[in-house]
Amino acid sequence: MQPVESSAMKQPVVSVVVLCYNQENFIGECLESVLSQEVDAPFDVIVGDDGSTDKSRAVIESFQARYPGQVTLVPHERNVGYSRNFADVIAKATGEYIACLDGDDLMLPGKLARQLEFLETQREFGMVVHRMRTVHWTTKEPVPFPLADAKPAVFDAEYLIEHGPFFFTSSSMFRSSLRRRFPVNLDLKVVADVANLMQSFYGTKARYLDEEMGLYRVNPKGFTSTVIKNPARHETNIHDMMATYQMAQDLGMDRAVVDRGRARLYMRSAIMFLEAGEYEQFERYIDTSVSYAKVGAKQGLLHTMRRWPHTLRSLYGFAKQMAGRQPVRA
């Protein structure tokens, strides 16, 4: 796609929202991957810069100058966090559909056209997501990343809440009318994507396309490693996810479904603490998991052996090795 010469632009059908924070080495390539998409419909790109202290903003401004009317910068003079940044960007999105992309991820050719065609022809679906290749943040060599093995082709918000996401937010496209039914929860400080996705297709259903249409950069200094998979900061993840479960319950979701989501959250957290050798937290979290709901044999085994964490840690590590998996590193 060639740069737009005039500031006049047709009403976008798709608004691509990009969130950026200190990603000067990646945001340019990210935006190029969006603007090179070939789509038989106008689309715009709205970039929320969350008070970056590097040169990210200058890079975004250069794209805004090259693509006037198509690229919009939503600047923040200080760091306001994911939820506020997302809310401000969404408020600027005027397209019938919204596609999400993190500032260090990439779209592959054909992504927007494929997802747009799906939502235009499959009106019963509120959202469509797809497979992404997980790559090293600098070399782009393929690297493993822990996501759930079960990837249902069709799922609803209840499945998302009960089992957690099995796809990346950067693969999502949804109908803006659905997203606008609910305000963005600004109280979610660090883990807001599950809540936003739930609100964006609640009451409809979503489709997972087993087609590789994007690259997800795995950064050891990124958000997942420094917050979600970091035992020292994990309480922030728990707080936001528990607030998300309450949002789901307030929307009218079955309490039993929500409690199974809570149980699985605490079980995943217990495993993380077990692998980190933090046994007090492990026992506390697996006890909390069982208090919400019974969710399978793994949970039962972990709870039964919670008094022997050293032995359990060795057995769990051996089982993962036998399964060909490596422990998740923070």
DSSP string, 12-63: PSEEEEEEESS-TTTHHHHHHHHHT---SS-EEEEEEEE--SSSHHHHHHHH
Both 249 and 176 in a single domain? no
Both 113 and 245 in a single domain? no
∠ Cα 21 22 28 (to 5°)? 90
Plot region of 159 (φ>0 → left; ψ -120 to 50 → alpha; else → beta): alpha
Both 153 and 280 in a single domain? no
Both 216 and 278 in a single domain? no
Residue 228 is predicted with a pLDDT of 52
The dihedrals phi and psi of 180, each to the nearest 5 degrees, come to: -80, -5
Question: Where in the sequence is the domain holding 258, given as residue range(s)?
Answer: 224-322
Residue 178 is predicted with a pLDDT of 98
Both 83 and 232 in a single domain? no
Both 36 and 107 in a single domain? yes
For residue 2, is it within any domain? no
Both 87 and 31 in a single domain? yes
> With contact defined as beta carbons under 8 Å apart, do 132 and 210 qualify?
no
For residue 8, is it within any domain? no
Both 174 and 262 in a single domain? no
Given 184, 205, 223, the domain boundary residue is: 223
Plot region of 90 (φ>0 → left; ψ -120 to 50 → alpha; else → beta): alpha
Within 13 Å and on the Cβ side, how many CA atoms surround 275? 19
Give percent of the chain above pLDDT 90. 83
Give percent of the chain above pLDDT 70. 92
The dihedrals phi and psi of 97, each to the nearest 5 degrees, come to: -125, 150
Could you tell me the pTM of the whole model? 0.91
Residue 234 predicted with pLDDT over 90:
no
∠ Cα 250 255 258 (to 5°)? 85
For residue 330, is it within any domain? no
pLDDT digits (tens, 9 = 90+) for 76-100: 999 999 999 999 999 999 999 999 9
Both 282 and 136 in a single domain? no
Least confident stretch, 106-110, 144-148, 184-188, 276-280: 144-148
Residue 27 belongs to domain with CATH number: 3.90.550.10
Cα–Cα distance for residue pair 250/112, rounded to 1 Å: 33
Given 223, 248, 264, the domain boundary residue is: 223
Both 115 and 200 in a single domain? yes
Average pLDDT, the chain: 92
> With contact defined as beta carbons under 8 Å apart, do 181 and 203 qualify?
no
The residue behind tokens 């077990």 is: 274
Residue 130 predicted with pLDDT over 80:
yes
Residue 227 is predicted with a pLDDT of 52
Given 223, 239, 265, the domain boundary residue is: 223
- Per the DSSP assignment, residues forming a β-bridge with 214 are 107
- Domains of the chain: total: 2
The residue-averaged pLDDT of 6-25 equals 87
For residue 59, is it within any domain? yes
Reported confidence tier of residue 255, pLDDT bands at 50, 70, 90: very high
Both 202 and 144 in a single domain? yes
The residue behind tokens 């989501």 is: 261
